[in-house]
Amino acid sequence: MMEQAETLEALRRQLAPAIADAAVFDGWTMDAVRQAAEMGGIDRALAEFAFRDGQMAMIAAWIDHVDEEMERTTPASSLKGVSIRERIRRLVMARLDAVAGREEALNRALTIMAMPQNLRTSLRLGWGSADAMWRLAGDTATDYNHYTKRTILGGIYAATLRVFVSDKTEDKAETRAFLDRRIEGIIRFEKTKAQFLRAPEERISLVRLLGRLRYPAR
């Protein structure tokens, strides 16, 4: 049973880029799955079964493919000696390069992901993308920093995708500038957080502060 699941997962990843190509014209539909299967010489019934859960299954497989492309084109070894700002920038751009030329498919996917019934799955997928980037960037945090970093990067990546799909500038200059500004914001936040938490005796007591706000001195 596990062998079959692994085979289906591999099939999903294999078909995902071709489905995204077809989704530019046909949307994220079974017609796109069938077209991708035909192009890949794969049995249509098997392809339909692999994506029997519908649109979000197709989109999730495409995101898995983008994860693989990011790791292939920008492995951790290529980021050694590079600033954290540049590591994150390269990893986000690697993801954007992996979907370049399929902006219409991406735009349709983002619309589907924003539907109320898909929000939970979309958040999980966004978290996974952010986690994959931070891990390649060398992040080893296991405390609350693990969560804040991924939450912030996930939001920035999602916003960058929205700019990317409508960016008509040469070489996506608008997207690159937007991304650089947002990454600079991450760096400033991390520096401020580090200063705030650098030593227990230098921290502001939030409990004391909230107490004073609730019960001001008379």
- The predicted-structure confidence for 34-56, as pLDDT tens digits, reads as follows 999 999 999 999 999 999 999 99
The arithmetic mean of pLDDT across residues 130-143, rounded, is: 92
| In the chain, domain spans | 1-52, 59-214
- Res. 170 pLDDT band, cuts 50 70 90: very high
The arithmetic mean of pLDDT across residues 192-197, rounded, is: 58
- Res. 206 pLDDT band, cuts 50 70 90: very low
- The predicted-structure confidence for 86-103, as pLDDT tens digits, reads as follows 999 999 999 999 999 999
Name the token pair of 1.
């049973």
- What class is the 59-214 domain? mainly alpha
Query: pTM, whole model, 2 decimals?
Result: 0.82
Q: Cα separation of 60 and 73, whole Å?
A: 20
- The predicted-structure confidence for 93-129, as pLDDT tens digits, reads as follows 999 999 999 999 999 999 999 999 999 999 999 999 9
Alpha helices in the chain (DSSP H): 2-26, 30-40, 44-50, 55-73, 84-99, 103-113, 119-136, 144-166, 173-196, 206-214
pLDDT of 5 reads 41
Mean pLDDT of the chain: 87
The arithmetic mean of pLDDT across residues 10-23, rounded, is: 95
Scan for tokens 């197709």, then name that residue: 58
pLDDT of 192 reads 62
Confirm if 79 and 137 have CB atoms less than 8 A apart.
yes
- Asked whether residue 16 carries a pLDDT value surpassing 90, the answer given is yes
Confirm if 159 and 72 have CB atoms less than 8 A apart.
no
Of the two residues 145 and 41, the one the predictor is more confident about is 41
Neighbours of 86 (CB within 10 A): 13
- The predicted-structure confidence for 72-89, as pLDDT tens digits, reads as follows 999 999 999 999 999 999
- Res. 190 pLDDT band, cuts 50 70 90: low
